[in-house]
Amino acid sequence: MDVEGFARLLSAKGRGLLAELAEYRPADELAWATRLRRAHEPELVAAALTQARLRQRGRAKFGDDAARMFFTPDGVEQSTRAEVAAHRAARIAAAGVTRAADLCCGIGGDALALARAGVRVVAVDMDPLTCAVAQANAEALGLAEMVEVRCDDVTRVALDGFDAAFLDPARRTARGRVFDPEAYSPPLSFLDELASRVPCGAAKVAPGIPHEVVPDGMAAEWVSYGGDVKEAVLWWGRLADGEGRLRATLLPGGASLAADDARQAPDGPVARYLYEPDGAVIRAHLVAEVAEEVGGSLVDPMIAYITADTLVETPLATAYELTDVLPFNLKKLKALVRERGIGSLTVKKRGSAVEPEEVRKRVKPSGPGAATVFLTRVAGAPTMLVGRPVGR
């Protein structure tokens, strides 16, 4: 779809088609297409059906708002989950920011979150269709007075008069994801220039970003949602001020952990309980802080599993009560599973090359019981830890 095609979708006829498709289901697409093409031109029907599919995909990130929003395939794939964007926008608004530039704005998800937090936004992107979609979304959600969309090169746009900037550089090419921060568009090094032009701000980066490439003077935050790490954010200026240079934030609950520097937790023998830290905690290198909180130690110096004799409730990690500690041997695991009638076997691994699917295939769990097995190392030795989540 191009800008002209999108404009037809925004016409009265196009909006009428989208309203008809409010009850669209993918299984009924052929019937929808056949019926609608009797009264409308095929190109408009195709565009409306595509938008109906994208709106259904968009619900996972935007909830009920998706039914009113507009998407592109890349936009729905790459946009920030609404709750994550709202968390970031709240931090920006709490710092007293009233006017921000959203650079590489995409379909406008972050600009919408900032506007809802009370920040006026100028959203900038180079792609004309993407800009048209972002503008339509601001209007659809009643935020057009707070969001101005500009089609421009984010590296050249004038930034005078802005309190803050938010940058979400492209991390994909036609070949797939980009892992080198200098291959982002614009590259990570552009942050130095941006920080010199705007007093404070943030940049969204891949959660796997190496700690050593975080620019000096900036703070880094890793954010998870429902246990799945969604992003890392680099903060500068007064937005970097806080309790620590490294932070992990767990949504939707909002639990947070921060420190100035990463520490190595002690390691020790396997105890009664195993704690699996949230992915954001691991990415932020704050496992030692969780180990200290639960009075535990690592099962191996290089493995982010914590073991302790006591059960401590913490939102930062999932606790398991261990029943067995075995040297790695799938025949022994198969015998244990058969003996206990374990039919639901969750396989987790850290520090093991064996894939969970291969384990389930060879062990062949069967029965009414349930268990979790951790394929890992204990003091360097390949080990299987068997247990069950506490409280389940």
Which CATH superfamily groups domain 77-259?
Vaccinia Virus protein VP39 (3.40.50.150)
Residue 288 to residues 109, 221, 295, 345, Cα–Cα distance (Å): 35, 17, 10, 29
Is the pLDDT assigned to residue 246 strictly greater than 60?
yes
Is the pLDDT assigned to residue 110 strictly greater than 90?
yes
What SS3 state is found at 139? helix
Quick one: pLDDT at residue 38? 85
The secondary element (H helix, E strand) that includes residue 376 is strand 369-378
Quick one: pLDDT at residue 30? 84
376 alpha-carbon distance from chain centroid: 26
**Could you tell me how many helices (H) and strands (E) the chain has, helices first?**
13, 18
Q: Which pLDDT tens digit goes with each residue over 62-103?
A: 999 999 999 999 999 999 999 999 999 999 999 999 999 999
Taking the C-alpha atoms of residue 280 and residue 339, their distance in angstroms, rounded to an integer, is: 37
Q: Which pLDDT tens digit goes with each residue over 134-150?
A: 999 999 999 999 999 99
Res. 171 pLDDT band, cuts 50 70 90: confident
Q: Which pLDDT tens digit goes with each residue over 315-349?
A: 999 999 999 999 999 999 999 999 999 999 999 99
Quick one: pLDDT at residue 174? 66
